[in-house]
Amino acid sequence: MGARYFGAEVRRVEDPKLITGQGHYLDDLQIPGVLHAAFVRSSHAHARIRAIDTSGASKMAGVIAVLTAADFGEQGGKMMPHMVPVAAVKQPLNYQPLADREVCHVGVPIAVVIAESRSIAEDAAAIVDVDFELLPAIIDWRKALDPDAPRAHSGAPDNLVAGLHGRFGAVEDVFAKAPHVFAETFETHRGGCHSMECRGVAAALAPFGGELNVWSSTQAPHMVRRLIAEHLGRDEQTVRVIAPDVGGGFGPKCSLYPEEIVIPLAAIKLQRSVKWVEDRTEHFLSTTQQRDQAWELEVAADNSGRLLGVRGRCVHDNGAYVPYGLVAAVTSLSAFPGPYALEAVDVKVDVVFTNLVPNTPVRGAGRPTACFVLERLADRVARELSLDPADVRRRSFVRKEQFPYSTGMKARDGSPVSYDSGDYHACLEAVLERGGSDFLERQKIALDRRRYLGRGIASYIEDTGLAPFEGATVRVQPSGKIVIQTGAASQGQGHATIFSQICADAVGVTIEDIVVEAGDTGTFPLGIGAIASRTAVTAGSSVHQASVAVRDKAIKVASEILEAAEADLVLEDGVVRVAGSDAQVTLGQLAFRLNGMSGIPMFSGIKPGLEATAFYEARKSTFASGTHLAEVEVDVETGRVEIRRYVVGHDCGRLINPMLVDGQVRGGVVHGIGNALFERMIHDENGQPVTTNYADYLLPTAPEVPRIEIIHFESASPLNPIGVKGAGEGGTIPAAACIISAIENAIAPFNVRLTEHPISPARLRQLIKAATISGETAPIAREEAIMACSIGVKRTV
C-alpha cells in the first residue's frame, strides 16, 4: 500500500530549487535584447499637469525613448479597467496608464523612460521636467466628507466613493431593552504589504503571430490578462501572462497597476522587449496599502455579559482611486458579527477618497479591523461588568450545535452569510488551558516588583474559499509521470506541494511522480487568483475531482486490457493490478494507449488521453475560525512591549499539510505583530510620505517575534469534497486585537484604554504619562483593576 499524503507533514516540493538559487523571479528573466524602464512619478499629492518636458532626457546616451500618455494615443490616456467593478461605487475613478491631466497622490506615473540599462533610465527620468499647478489635497480621511473639505479629484461633487450598510435584527428594540450599552471609538492605521520581492513587469512580442507575452509578479495572471486585453483592445487569446516565481504577495499584487499596461504598450510601440522592476522606494510610494479606518460604535450586553448587538459607523479611507472595488471596506462590514451570535447589527461604512495611495486588501482585507473593534468591544463589556473576558466570549459565541449558522449579514454578492462548521468554545478552552491557570499569580508577583505583565485574547472567523472557481487538469504521461495544470498562481504558499499530496492519494502514485504547472495563462485557460485564502478550497477541490476522474478512467480502461472486473482491480504505486493475480498494467502504459496509435481504434465510450479537467465552483464560503492568546510585558519607563508568549488555536477544516498550515499561521501572526506595534505609513499635511525606508517604517524582526504555539482543530467543511478551509490569513486577523488587549491588561494600573493600533513605545508612554498626570490613577494602587480584567479565571457560564 502506498503512503497516505493528505494530512501528512510533507516537505515542500518547491523548496529545493529555491534554496539552491534556482528560482526564477521576474528580475531573473533573461530576455534577449531587453530594454529597461524607469518611471517619472508625481512629487505632489494633488496637482494639475501643465506641461511635460522630455527633451533633456531624450538626448541622453543610451536612452531609447521617453514616453508620455500622448505617445500611446487613446490607450495612454483613457482610464484603466477595474479589477473588481462594483455597482455601489458612486465615482468609479481609476488610474490612467500615464497621467496627463491631474495627479492625485505622490507616486502616480507620468512618463516612462526606456533605456539600455536601468541606471541610464533612472538618470534620464530624474531630469524629465513636469510643470505642476498645485491643488488642495485631502489627507485626513476623517475629514473627507466635511462640506468644505478639498476634493481629492478636481471637479468631483464630493469625496464619497460609496456608502455601505449592513443591518439585521430589531436593532432599536435590542438596544432599548439592553441593561448595558457602551460607546467606543477606534482607529486603525494604514501600512503596506512589503513582500520580499517588489512588483515587476516585462513584456515582449512573440516573433511569429504577434502574441503579446507579459511576465508579471502578480497574484492573478488570468485576471491581469483579461484587463490588459480589455485596455489594449486585443483578444484575450493574443495575450499571454506568466507569473514566474513570486516572492510574496499578501494582496496588493492582485491589483492591476499602471505599469502592467505601460510596459506592454512600450513593448508594442518600440517592437522591443521591455522590463521594469519596482525598487523599494517605489513600493512605498505606489504599491497599494490598507487599514486606515475610524469607527464610532455602541455595544449592547445583558447582565451576564452576553453580547446582544453592535451599531455604529465607520469611515474607510480608500485613497485616491478605486482599482480594486470595495473589497477592503465590504469585508470589514461582512465580517460582522464575528464569532458571536448577536441579535442585532446596524453598521454603516462611508468609503472616502483621499490624496493617498489607494487602499486595497492587505492580508486579511477588512477582517482584521472588524475583528479588532469587535474584540475590543468584548473586552470593554468585560471591564465594565468586572467579568473575565473569556466569559464574555463563552456566553456570546455561536454554539457548535447551531451550525450551519446564518448570521443575518450579506456577502459581497448579496447572498446570506452562513457559517458552515466550527467549535469556537473548544478552541477558546484549549488556548486558555495551554496558556496556563497560573497567570494571575505571576502577574501579581510581577506587579509587586513593578513589572507589568498582561494577557489578552481575541477570537475570529474568516470567510475562505471565495467564489467563483479555480480549475485543474490532471494528465498522466506515457512516462508514468503526472502533470497538474491549474490557473491558481502561487506566491510561496506551497500550492505545488498540497496539489501533489491531494493527487497522489487519489490517483495512487508517489508525490515524486507529480509535476505542477501554474501561473501561466498559456498553460491553463481560466483562473481567478491566489486571494482571500481560497486556493486550497477551490483549486484543491478541483485537483481532487480531476484526480478521482483520472483514477476512475484508469480503472475502467485497465479492466478492458486485463479482462477483469473493475471491482477486482487495485491501483497503487502507479500500477493497476488484479487482486490475487500477477496481471497488471502501469498508468504510463494506459496513458500511452489512450494517447492513440495509428490504425488502432479507441476503447468504446472512452475519450482520448488519460486525463481529466475539473472546475470546482464555490457557491458558499467556508469559515475558518480560532482564538489567539498573548502574554506581554510592558516597560512603562520606555514604552517597550515584549511579547513573551503567543498561543494560537486554529481551525481551517481538514489539514492537507499541517507543517504548511503552521507556516501560514506563524507568518500571519508576525504580520499582525507588525500591525499592532510597528507599521505606520505616515504622511505630512501635504500628503508627502514620511516613512519611505525601513529605518522609519518598522517591520517586526526576529528579536520581536516570540515562539508561536499552535493548536489545530479540524472542523471539516461540508461544502467541498475534501473538507478544507483557507489558512492564509487566520494568523493575522485577530493578532492586533489580541496584542493590544494584552498591553491594556498590563497597564491597567494606569487606567489607560487602548482603542487604536499600531501602538508605538512613544505613543504608549504618552498615554501612560497623560493618565498619571491627570490624577486618575496611581501605579500599584490599581492592582484590583488588573485582577478584575485578567483572563483565565474559570467562572460559571
pLDDT value for 781: 39
- Report the alpha-carbon distance of residue 125 to residue 134 in Å, rounded: 21
- Report the alpha-carbon distance of residue 212 to residue 202 in Å, rounded: 11
3-state percent helix, strand, coil for the chain, nearest multiple of 5: 30, 25, 45
What average pLDDT does range 685-697 have in this prediction? 96
pLDDT value for 773: 73
pLDDT value for 614: 98
- Report the alpha-carbon distance of residue 156 to residue 240 in Å, rounded: 37
Same domain, 600 and 629: no
Res 617 pLDDT > 80: yes
Q: Give the CA distances from residue 18 to residues 24, 106, 247, 314, in Å, rounded to whole numbers and listed in that order.
A: 8, 35, 10, 43
Total residues found in the chain within this entry: 797
Same domain, 657 and 780: yes
Same domain, 273 and 398: no
Task: Write out pLDDT tens, residues 127-184.
Answer: 999 999 999 999 999 999 999 999 999 999 999 999 999 999 999 999 999 999 999 9
By CB atoms closer than 10 A (0-12, 13-18, 19+), residue 484 is buried
Say if 348 falls within a structural domain: no
Number of helices (H), then strands (E), belonging to the chain: the values are: 20, 29
- Report the alpha-carbon distance of residue 254 to residue 217 in Å, rounded: 9
Which bin fits 496, alpha (ψ -120 to 50), beta or left (φ > 0)?
A: alpha
| Nearest partner of 76 among 280, 298, 263, 211, judged by Cα | 263
CB 735 within 8 A of CB 457: no
Parallel, antiparallel or unpaired: strands 584-586 and 575-578: antiparallel
- Report the alpha-carbon distance of residue 130 to residue 110 in Å, rounded: 9
Question: At 24, which amino acid appears?
Answer: H
Task: Write out pLDDT tens, residues 743-765.
Answer: 999 999 999 999 999 999 999 99
Place of cell 491557570: 437
- Report the alpha-carbon distance of residue 461 to residue 627 in Å, rounded: 9
The full DSSP string for 486-505 is: ES---SSS-HHHHHHHHHHH
Same domain, 454 and 396: yes
What average pLDDT does range 457-472 have in this prediction? 97
User: What is the three-class DSSP state of 721?
Assistant: coil
Name, in order, each residue with C-beta under 8 angstroms of 333's C-beta and a sequence gap of 6 or more.
164, 166, 314, 347, 349, 366, 370, 409
Name, in order, each residue with C-beta under 8 angstroms of 410's C-beta and a sequence gap of 6 or more.
166, 334, 416, 417
Say if 317 falls within a structural domain: no
- Report the alpha-carbon distance of residue 113 to residue 71 in Å, rounded: 12
What do you get for the CA distance between the two ends of the chain, in Å? 49
- Report the alpha-carbon distance of residue 531 to residue 524 in Å, rounded: 18
Query: 785 falls in which pLDDT band (50, 70, 90)?
Result: very low
The phi, psi pair for 424, rounded to 5°, reads: -65, -40
Res 786 pLDDT > 50: no
Task: Write out pLDDT tens, residues 21-33.
Answer: 999 999 999 999 9
Strands (E) in 493-550, as ranges, are 514-518
Which bin fits 613, alpha (ψ -120 to 50), beta or left (φ > 0)?
A: beta
Name, in order, each residue with C-beta under 8 angstroms of 607's C-beta and a sequence gap of 6 or more.
none
Better pLDDT: 354 or 412: 354
- Report the alpha-carbon distance of residue 118 to residue 115 in Å, rounded: 7
Query: 488 falls in which pLDDT band (50, 70, 90)?
Result: very high
CB 533 within 8 A of CB 464: yes
Residue 85 CA to its chain's centroid (Å):
19
The phi, psi pair for 506, rounded to 5°, reads: -70, -40
| Nearest partner of 536 among 660, 427, 671, judged by Cα | 660
Burial profile 92-102: b = 16 or more Cβ within 10 angstroms, e = fewer: bbbbbbbbbeb
Say if 343 falls within a structural domain: no
Mean pLDDT of the residues in the chain: 95
Portion of the chain with pLDDT greater than 90, in percent: 94
Res 588 pLDDT > 60: yes
- Report the alpha-carbon distance of residue 342 to residue 384 in Å, rounded: 19
Same domain, 93 and 234: yes
CATH code of the domain containing 84 = 3.90.1170.50
Query: 774 falls in which pLDDT band (50, 70, 90)?
Result: low
Helices (H), 275-401: 280-286, 327-334, 367-384, 389-396
Res 673 pLDDT > 70: yes
Which of 561, 596, 617 finishes a domain? Answer: 617
Say if 322 falls within a structural domain: no
Which of 617, 640, 664 finishes a domain? Answer: 617
Same domain, 655 and 767: yes
pLDDT value for 792: 55
- Report the alpha-carbon distance of residue 291 to residue 224 in Å, rounded: 24
Say if 325 falls within a structural domain: no
Query: Cell for 543?
Result: 485537483
Say if 585 falls within a structural domain: yes
Number of structural domains (the chain) is 3
pLDDT value for 771: 87
Same domain, 512 and 536: yes
Say if 719 falls within a structural domain: yes
Task: Write out pLDDT tens, residues 77-118.
Answer: 999 999 988 789 999 999 999 999 999 999 999 999 999 999
My answer on whether omega of the bond before 700 falls inside 30° of 0, hence cis, is: no
pLDDT value for 790: 55
What average pLDDT does range 573-599 have in this prediction? 96
Same domain, 446 and 480: no
| Nearest partner of 297 among 142, 187, 168, 406, judged by Cα | 187
Q: What is the pTM of this model?
A: 0.96
Angle between helices 735-746 and 658-673 (to 10 degrees): 50
Same domain, 526 and 578: yes
Contacts 24+ apart (CB under 8 A), 562-571: 571/507, 571/508
Q: Which domain holds residue 637?
A: 365-462+622-789
What average pLDDT does range 309-333 have in this prediction? 97
Which bin fits 73, alpha (ψ -120 to 50), beta or left (φ > 0)?
A: left
pLDDT value for 778: 45
Query: 784 falls in which pLDDT band (50, 70, 90)?
Result: very low
Strands (E) in 607-753, as ranges, are 611-617, 622-634, 641-651, 708-713
Q: How many CB atoms lie within 10 A of CB 272?
A: 18
CB 598 within 8 A of CB 613: no
Query: 412 falls in which pLDDT band (50, 70, 90)?
Result: confident
The full DSSP string for 174-201 is: HHHH-SEEEEEEEEE--B----SS--EE
| Nearest partner of 730 among 757, 754, 711, judged by Cα | 711
Q: How many CB atoms lie within 10 A of CB 103?
A: 27
Same domain, 758 and 640: yes
DSSP lists the bridge partners of residue 189 as none
Same domain, 476 and 395: no
Say if 277 falls within a structural domain: yes
pLDDT value for 3: 63
Query: 704 falls in which pLDDT band (50, 70, 90)?
Result: very high
What average pLDDT does range 659-665 have in this prediction? 97
Which of 566, 594, 617 finishes a domain? Answer: 617
- Report the alpha-carbon distance of residue 455 to residue 444 in Å, rounded: 12
Parallel, antiparallel or unpaired: strands 641-651 and 622-634: antiparallel
Same domain, 527 and 429: no
Helices (H), 182-317: 221-232, 259-270, 280-286
| Nearest partner of 337 among 427, 430, 406, 426, judged by Cα | 406
CATH code of the domain containing 549 = 3.30.365.10
| Nearest partner of 246 among 604, 585, 519, 564, judged by Cα | 519
By CB atoms closer than 10 A (0-12, 13-18, 19+), residue 695 is exposed
pLDDT value for 775: 59
Local structure of residue 290 (DSSP, 8 states): B
